[in-house]
């Protein structure tokens, strides 16, 4: 059907059934610039689907609601736009809960639309009723239940505004069936009343100038400063500013998992990732620093380790848009609340240049002496090799998503994204099953870019049903399964911390190449370095989706590692302790 | 350290749940919570009495402020606020005990609001400590039931709480 025919048919159908709440919703979404929705129909959202029928919004029909929400997250993380997901009531909505929690932890802007039973049935334990607002209150930035269709334009407008501004996050709109199905009198202007009423929400963009000046003075005094940067740099879109700031001040940089891609990986100032699996030099630098400048981060436990031993001798500055993050885990002497990009721009107006060249060269020397390392074994494919091949083949230009576990850390170590929004991973929540649907969402957002999902054999099985979605829509996601037949990170902890008692960490999987083929997706398998090299090349040059099953060494561990309860200066490097 | 948080919130379903849920989830303590309509239609004033050290109280306020339905929060120290709680106490009171009880109630500016054969209901208003003291004095007579509203509060003088 041509788009004109579609529009005519749609208009005729709408005229026949009347203009309903669902139409108002779809119009409001279009006003917000929504072009893609990830969803799954059911009883309570039928009127919304009726309104979406033949509309020019691209609806991605998934095979499980969890696939829909992670798809929306991947779409959002790759594009910077608000991701939109639509489910029905009850189990449809509760299947979104993991994704909502994940988006809340990683500050991903989403608008989550859930169908709900009709208002008259709410509270009566009606078929497929669940108190989704109640269930999701602690994991949403805000939520609404719409009781009058006339509120839809205002609520949608507020939801998008809240989701994308300040510290971004998921906003839920619960839509009872009678509200989306209500026929509204024609000829009224339902949009004139969409003025936002959110007096309790005023995110602070502009930092306090005095706070910026205080920090500027502190930077001038510092001898061993370090920039600790994270996902906030990407949310704020200030990757260029942080790069300029680091280069003009000559302050070394370390990034969190969420911040990867926000600083050029080959810059001599860059020390790699910090934290539990951070580089030796990054963790050492933080430990020895006298001024830690934290930008768009949240002092997460996987970064800090034992708090008393986290940067124990440093003064700490924290630039963040969320005032509640300041001092939440670590005492801060130089708080700067506001958009981190704006704060950096103010600092750059009169750049403080510390005298820290000695410190920098010491760290650079250390970084060269203690690089990330692993041992190759003839005839056996090492997981790190696969990631190095991916890096070599893409030059860090591809969008890489990951699942959760060892492969995620190896991807963080060996894949070097050259720009923001090219490394998409579940950082805070650590959601297995995230990476594959997220890759699907990223590929829809960025059809001109190569998108690779680095998966574990266990994680991939958590949302493997989306193979059907990528097959049907020909979404060219490349899934690299790093298959070690184990829940590798669990196995690693059992080896190092539980006396090698490998309880339930050995986990079987199917022949992933054959599974892919069964779905109509190209499936490849590689058992050694030569096969892997060929498979990487073939997968990346293949036009459509592909799954590569890399059969890797079973017992490989991720190093360096800061064991739980240890300070960030106490690292295991391969099999020996650093100190 | 005890602090009183005075907040103005949207008068909407779920607001109490959001705030109470936040306190539960982050492990903050609620000693008492009162809520009622505020001076402006559509808004409620909620007063929460809580305890914690300086850093914890700062976190509580910041986390509460993040809720979209919370218009404003102020933390008021004990000396800067007028804090009142209403208390009803049902106490056993035989005829001879009544005059004694009357003598206790009077200096507290409390009043007897219900009289039955063998019991009285006393209504008292004041800060928490004053009400606690009255409870202790009445205990020997046999307390049957107590209902307390929890503290509600405003800042003294010209300043406004929101």
Distances in Å between the alpha carbon of B80 and those of B4, B29, B49, B77, B161?
A: 10, 22, 14, 6, 11
Q: Residue B123 above 70 pLDDT?
A: yes
Higher pLDDT pick, B151 / A334: A334
Higher pLDDT pick, A577 / A465: A465
Q: Residue B79 above 80 pLDDT?
A: no
pLDDT tens column, A127-167: 999 999 999 999 999 999 999 999 999 999 999 999 999 99
| A217-225 mean pLDDT | 98
- Please give the sequence-ordered ranges of beta strands (E in DSSP) within chain B, or none if there are none: 2-10, 32-37, 43-51, 70-76, 81-92, 111-115, 119-126, 143-148, 152-155
Which candidate from A133, A145, A200 shows the least CB-CB separation from B71? A200
A544 and chain B in contact, CB less than 8 A:
no
Partner A, chain B 69-128, Cβ-Cβ below 8 Å: 69-72
pLDDT tens column, A74-90: 999 999 999 999 999 99
Residues 6+ apart with CB under 8 A from A258: A106, A230, A231, A234, A297, A425, A427, A428
The pLDDT score that the predictor gives to residue A489 is 97
Shortest alpha-carbon distance between residue A425 and chain B (Å): 25
Partner B, chain A 312-341, Cβ-Cβ below 8 Å: 322-324, 326-328, 331
The pLDDT score that the predictor gives to residue A205 is 96
The pLDDT score that the predictor gives to residue A349 is 98
Q: Which residue of A has its CA nearest to B56?
A: A328
Lowest mean pLDDT of A6-10, A176-180, A479-483, B63-67, name the range.
A6-10
Mutate to test the interface with B, among A161, A169, A171, A324 (most CBs of B within 10 A): A324
The pLDDT score that the predictor gives to residue A194 is 80
> Are the beta carbons of A200 and B22 separated by less than 8 Å?
no
What domains does chain A contain, in order, with CATH numbers?
3-184 (3.40.50.970), 209-369 (3.40.50.1220), 383-558 (3.40.50.970)
Quick one: which of A344, A304, A337, A346 has its CA closest to A318?
A: A337
The pLDDT score that the predictor gives to residue B95 is 85
Q: What does the alpha-carbon distance between residue B34 and residue B49 come to, in Å, rounded to a whole number?
A: 9
Instruction: Round the average pLDDT of chain A to a whole number and report it.
Output: 96
- Return the H-helix or E-strand segment holding A101: helix A97-105
Q: What does the alpha-carbon distance between residue A178 and residue A163 come to, in Å, rounded to a whole number?
A: 26
Mutate to test the interface with A, among B43, B66, B72, B162 (most CBs of A within 10 A): B66
> Are the beta carbons of A327 and B58 separated by less than 8 Å?
yes
| A58-63 mean pLDDT | 98
Chain A residues with CB-CB distance to B63 below 8 A:
324
> Are the beta carbons of B68 and A327 separated by less than 8 Å?
no
Chain B residues with CB-CB distance to A327 below 8 A:
55, 58-59
> Are the beta carbons of B68 and A323 separated by less than 8 Å?
no
Shortest alpha-carbon distance between residue A175 and chain B (Å): 15
A141 and chain B in contact, CB less than 8 A:
yes
Shortest alpha-carbon distance between residue A450 and chain B (Å): 38
Chain B residues with CB-CB distance to A141 below 8 A:
68
| A244-271 mean pLDDT | 98
Mutate to test the interface with B, among A200, A321, A328 (most CBs of B within 10 A): A200
Percent of chain A whose pLDDT exceeds 90: 91
| B57-67 mean pLDDT | 94
Domain ranges of chain B: 2-76, 82-153
Mutate to test the interface with B, among A136, A176, A199 (most CBs of B within 10 A): A199
- Return the H-helix or E-strand segment holding A456: strand A451-456
Shortest alpha-carbon distance between residue A345 and chain B (Å): 26
Neighbours of A274 (CB within 10 A): 31
User: Which tokens in the block code for residue B140?
Assistant: 């020997």
Q: Residue A579 above 60 pLDDT?
A: no
The pLDDT score that the predictor gives to residue B89 is 96
Q: What is the ipTM of this complex?
A: 0.89
The pLDDT score that the predictor gives to residue B158 is 78
A577 and chain B in contact, CB less than 8 A:
no
The pLDDT score that the predictor gives to residue B13 is 87
Percent of chain A whose pLDDT exceeds 70: 99
Question: Is the Cβ–Cβ distance between B53 and B110 less than 8 Å?
Answer: no
Grade residue A117 by pLDDT with cuts at 50, 70 and 90. Answer: very high
Residues 6+ apart with CB under 8 A from A237: A80, A341, A420
> Are the beta carbons of B14 and A133 separated by less than 8 Å?
yes
Count of residues making up chain A: 579
> Are the beta carbons of A137 and B18 separated by less than 8 Å?
yes
Chain B residues with CB-CB distance to A324 below 8 A:
59, 62-63, 65-66
Query: Domain B82-153 class?
Result: alpha beta
The pLDDT score that the predictor gives to residue A575 is 66
Q: Which residue of A has its CA nearest to B73?
A: A200
The distance between the two most distant Cα atoms of chain A, rounded to a whole number of Å, is 77
| B150-160 mean pLDDT | 85
> Are the beta carbons of B59 and A327 separated by less than 8 Å?
yes
The four Cα atoms A334, A423, A571, A502 give a dihedral, to 10 degrees, of 130
> Are the beta carbons of B17 and A137 separated by less than 8 Å?
yes
The pLDDT score that the predictor gives to residue A478 is 98
> Are the beta carbons of B68 and A201 separated by less than 8 Å?
yes
Which candidate from B14, B25, B68 shows the least CB-CB separation from A200? B68
Q: Residue B162 above 60 pLDDT?
A: no
Provide the edge-to-edge strand list for the sheet that holds A477-483.
Answer: A423-424, A399-402, A451-456, A477-483, A546-551, A522-526
Active site residues of A: 65, 127-128, 177, 489
Grade residue A6 by pLDDT with cuts at 50, 70 and 90. Answer: confident
The pLDDT score that the predictor gives to residue A465 is 98
| B66-95 mean pLDDT | 90
A202 and chain B in contact, CB less than 8 A:
no
Shortest alpha-carbon distance between residue B125 and chain A (Å): 32
User: Which tokens in the block code for residue A472?
Assistant: 């049907």
The four Cα atoms A75, A76, A79, A80 give a dihedral, to 10 degrees, of 180
A196 and chain B in contact, CB less than 8 A:
no
pLDDT tens column, A19-29: 999 999 999 99
What's the Rg (C-alpha) of chain B? 18
The pLDDT score that the predictor gives to residue A312 is 95
B46 and chain A in contact, CB less than 8 A:
no
Quick one: which of A287, A290, A285 has its CA closest to A222?
A: A290
Chain B residues with CB-CB distance to A133 below 8 A:
14
Q: Residue A578 above 60 pLDDT?
A: no
> Are the beta carbons of B59 and A138 separated by less than 8 Å?
no
Which candidate from A143, A162, A323 shows the least CB-CB separation from B62? A323
Is the domain spanning B2-76 CATH 3.40.50.720? The answer is no
Q: Residue A576 above 70 pLDDT?
A: no
A15 and chain B in contact, CB less than 8 A:
no
Higher pLDDT pick, A37 / B2: A37
The pLDDT score that the predictor gives to residue B3 is 87
Size of interface A-B (CB pairs under 8 A): 43
Quick one: which of A329, A337, A325 has its CA closest to A311?
A: A329
Q: What does the alpha-carbon distance between residue A29 and residue A42 come to, in Å, rounded to a whole number?
A: 20
* Dihedral of alpha carbons B110, B116, B117, B119, sign: negative
Mutate to test the interface with A, among B54, B62, B71 (most CBs of A within 10 A): B62
């Amino acid at each position: 059907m041509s788009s004109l025919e579609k529009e005519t048919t749609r208009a005729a159908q709408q005229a026949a059934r009347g203009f309903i709440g669902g139409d108002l919703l779809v119009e409001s979404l279009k006003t917000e610039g929504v072009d893609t929705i990830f969803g799954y129909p059911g009883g309570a959202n039928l009127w919304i689907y009726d309104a979406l029928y033949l509309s020019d919004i691209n609806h991605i029909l998934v095979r499980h609601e969890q696939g829909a929400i992670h798809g929306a997250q991947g779409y959002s993380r790759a594009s910077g736009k608000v991701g939109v997901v639509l489910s029905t009531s009850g189990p449809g909505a509760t299947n979104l809960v993991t994704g909502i929690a994940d988006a809340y932890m990683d500050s991903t802007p989403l608008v989550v639309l859930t169908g709900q039973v009709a208002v008259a049935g709410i509270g009566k334990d009606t078929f497929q009723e669940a108190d989704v607002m109640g269930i999701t209150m602690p994991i949403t930035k805000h939520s609404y239940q719409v009781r009058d269709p006339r509120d839809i334009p205002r609520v949608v407008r507020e939801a998008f505004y809240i989701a994308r501004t300040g510290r971004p996050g998921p906003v839920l709109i619960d839509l009872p069936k009678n509200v989306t199905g209500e026929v509204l009198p024609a000829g009224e202007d339902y949009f004139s009343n969409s003025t936002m009423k959110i007096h309790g929400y005023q995110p602070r963009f502009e930092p306090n100038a005095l706070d910026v000046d205080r920090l500027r003075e502190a930077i001038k005094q510092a001898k061993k400063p370090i920039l600790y940067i994270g996902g906030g740099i990407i949310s704020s879109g200030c990757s260029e500013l942080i790069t300029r700031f680091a280069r003009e001040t000559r302050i070394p940089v370390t990034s969190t998992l969420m911040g990867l891609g926000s600083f050029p990986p080959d810059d001599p100032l860059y020390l790699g990732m910090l934290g539990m699996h951070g580089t030796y030099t990054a963790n050492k630098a933080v430990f020895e620093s006298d001024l830690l400048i934290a930008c768009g981060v949240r002092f997460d436990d996987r970064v800090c380790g034992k708090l008393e031993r986290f940067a124990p001798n440093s003064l700490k500055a924290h630039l963040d848009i969320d005032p509640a993050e300041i001092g939440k885990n670590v005492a801060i002497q130089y708080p700067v609340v506001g958009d981190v990009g704006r704060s950096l721009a103010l600092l750059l107006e009169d750049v403080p240049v510390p005298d820290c060249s000695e410190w920098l060269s010491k760290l650079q020397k250390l970084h060269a002496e203690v690089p990330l390392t692993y041992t190759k074994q003839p005839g056996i494919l090492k997981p790190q090799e696969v990631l190095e091949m991916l890096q070599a083949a893409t030059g860090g230009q591809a969008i890489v998503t990951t699942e959760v576990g060892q492969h995620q850390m190896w991807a963080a170590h060996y894949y070097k994204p050259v720009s923001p929004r090219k490394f998409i991973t579940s950082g805070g929540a650590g959601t297995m099953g995230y990476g594959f649907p997220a890759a699907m969402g990223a590929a829809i957002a960025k059809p001109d870019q190569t998108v690779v999902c680095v998966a574990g054999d266990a994680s991939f099985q958590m949302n493997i049903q989306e193979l059907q979605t990528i097959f049907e829509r020909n979404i060219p996601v490349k899934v690299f399964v790093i298959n070690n037949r184990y829940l590798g990170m669990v196995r690693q902890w059992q080896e190092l911390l539980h006396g090698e008692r490998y309880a339930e960490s050995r986990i079987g999987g199917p022949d992933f190449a054959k599974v892919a083929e069964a779905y109509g997706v190209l499936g490849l398998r590689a058992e050694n370095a030569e096969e892997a090299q060929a498979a990487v090349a073939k997968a990346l040059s293949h036009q459509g989706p592909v799954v590569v099953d890399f059969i890797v060494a079973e017992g490989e561990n991720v190093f360096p590692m800061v064991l739980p309860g240890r300070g960030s200066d106490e690292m295991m490097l391969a099999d020996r302790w650093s100190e | 350290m005890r602090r009183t948080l005075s907040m103005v919130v949207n008068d909407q379903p779920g607001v109490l749940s959001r705030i109470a849920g936040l306190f539960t989830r982050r492990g903050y303590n609620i000693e008492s919570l009162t809520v009622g309509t505020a001076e402006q239609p559509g808004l409620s004033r909620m007063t929460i009495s809580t305890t914690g050290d300086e850093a914890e109280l700062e976190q509580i306020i910041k986390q509460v402020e993040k809720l979209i339905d919370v218009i404003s929060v102020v933390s008021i120290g004990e000396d800067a606020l007028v804090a009142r709680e209403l208390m009803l106490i049902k106490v056993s009171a035989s005829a001879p005990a009544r005059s004694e009880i009357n003598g206790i109630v009077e200096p507290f500016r409390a009043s007897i609001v219900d009289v039955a054969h063998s019991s009285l209901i006393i209504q008292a208003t004041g800060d928490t400590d004053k009400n606690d003291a009255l409870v202790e004095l009445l205990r020997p007579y046999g307390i049957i039931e107590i209902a307390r509203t929890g503290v509600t509060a405003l800042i003294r003088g010209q300043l406004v709480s929101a």
